Amino acid sequence: MPGEFDLIARYFTRHAARDDVALGVGDDAALLRPPPGQVLAATVDTLIAGVHFPEQTDPADIGHKALAVNLSDLAAMGAEPAWVMLALSLPRVDDSWLHAFAEGFHALAARHRVALVGGDTTRGPLSITVQALGWVPEGQALRRDGARPGDGLYVTGTLGDAGLGLAVLQGRAEVPPQYREALCARLNRPEPRVEAGLALRGVASAAIDISDGLAADLGHLLVASGVGGRVALDRLPRGDAVRAADAHGRLALTAGDDYELVFALPAGQERALAALADRLPPLSCIGRVEAEPGLRLVDADDNPVAFSHQGYDHFREF
């Protein structure tokens, strides 16, 4: 384990371990006791300074977001998060930065009862890789490939807030001052939809989280399921600020970093979904799954709307 330097132990072990952690930070590997009869869900995501966040972002926000994007992936599988590992590359040891980063990380971890069980710190350009492990009962995971023609398409919460927040921060957009803080919070402190993912087990036929924009991520779900879809632009859920800035819904369709869930609901499951209302954020039915491949956008009168877009891709400039 090159270069550990005890930073992980110093900054990241303050919380009591879960009783399924046999051995946490400090050995060559963590030792974990999986619950019987469940399937392990494992995901990894990296955030890099200058690519995923501006270099000067509040380190507490970076700590929050590095964990949030991984918990969001588990949420999209319907998995219950349990354990995470942190690989942190830092240009230098900066105590106040590390303290704030750890605060942001741990506050979110504590809310989801997630234990940090290991990690690695190295000298290098600022970069954070988190690997998250969780559990889902056999056969109940929300995969991408289960959507079928006739299923309804739903999203949680509102879309476009994080994208508008980024545009505001970068000086590309202006919003009334009362919206500014909330939009930036959507960008910097996304709330992974863990509870929603758990509630949708056995109800949704497929799900994915929206990190690269609805069109891109829903596109992944439709392709994985071998189907297509129709989405009504006017049904995309938008907050007041996004609605004012984006009358046509393009921001809600393409902006990334919202970390809401989009899922497919088989016909006949509407009542089951309604019964979950108290465990779910506001939901919007935005369209339906169709047999013909591709994503079709329509207006309020079901007329086609042309669009071209590839979502956010970190390699697109090459």
Residues within window 263-282 making contact with a second copy, judged by CB under 8 A: none
Torsion of CA 146, 204, 216, 54, to 10 degrees: -130
Q: How buried is 194 (Cβ within 10 angstroms: 0-12 exposed, 13-18 middle, 19+ buried)?
A: buried
Instruction: Give the x-and-dash track for 17-56 against a second copy (CB under 8 A).
Output: -----xx--xxxxxxxxx-x--xxxxxxxxxx-xxx----
Closest approach of a second copy to the CB of residue 176, in Å: 29
43 annotated as a binding-site residue: yes
Nearer to a second copy, 142 or 297 (CB): 142
Three-state secondary-structure class, residue 11 = helix
Closest approach of a second copy to the CB of residue 81, in Å: 10
120 annotated as a binding-site residue: yes
- Determine how β-strand 21-23 pairs with β-strand 228-232: unpaired
Alpha carbons 261 and 192: distance in angstroms, whole number: 9
12 lies in the binding site for a second copy (CB under 8 A):
no
DSSP state of 53: B
User: How many of the chain's residues bind a second copy (CB under 8 A)?
Assistant: 75
Give one word for 285, left, alpha or beta, with left for phi > 0 and alpha for psi -120 to 50. beta
Nearer to a second copy, 31 or 267 (CB): 31
Alpha carbons 152 and 286: distance in angstroms, whole number: 8
Three-state secondary-structure class, residue 85 = strand
Nearer to a second copy, 228 or 256 (CB): 256
Interface positions, 200-239, toward a second copy (CB under 8 A): 207-209, 211-212, 224
Q: How buried is 276 (Cβ within 10 angstroms: 0-12 exposed, 13-18 middle, 19+ buried)?
A: middle
109 lies in the binding site for a second copy (CB under 8 A):
no
Alpha carbons 21 and 30: distance in angstroms, whole number: 8
Q: How buried is 255 (Cβ within 10 angstroms: 0-12 exposed, 13-18 middle, 19+ buried)?
A: buried
Instruction: Give the x-and-dash track for 293-312 against a second copy (CB under 8 A).
Output: -------------------x
313 annotated as a binding-site residue: no
Closest approach of a second copy to the CB of residue 34, in Å: 5
Instruction: Give the x-and-dash track for 71-100 against a second copy (CB under 8 A).
Output: --xx-xx-x---x-xxx-x--xx-------
Alpha carbons 289 and 150: distance in angstroms, whole number: 5
69 lies in the binding site for a second copy (CB under 8 A):
yes
Interface positions, 118-157, toward a second copy (CB under 8 A): 118-125, 127, 129, 131-134, 136, 141, 143-145
Closest approach of a second copy to the CB of residue 298, in Å: 27
Residue of 216, 221, 215 whose CA lies nearest to 148 = 221
146 annotated as a binding-site residue: no
Residue of 238, 241, 242, 277 whose CA lies nearest to 260 = 238
Binding a second copy by CB under 8 A: which of 117, 204, 233, 273? 117
Binding residues for substrate, by number, are 52, 257, 312
As annotated, the binding site includes 28, 43, 45, 52, 73, 119-120, 144, 209, 211-212, 257, 312
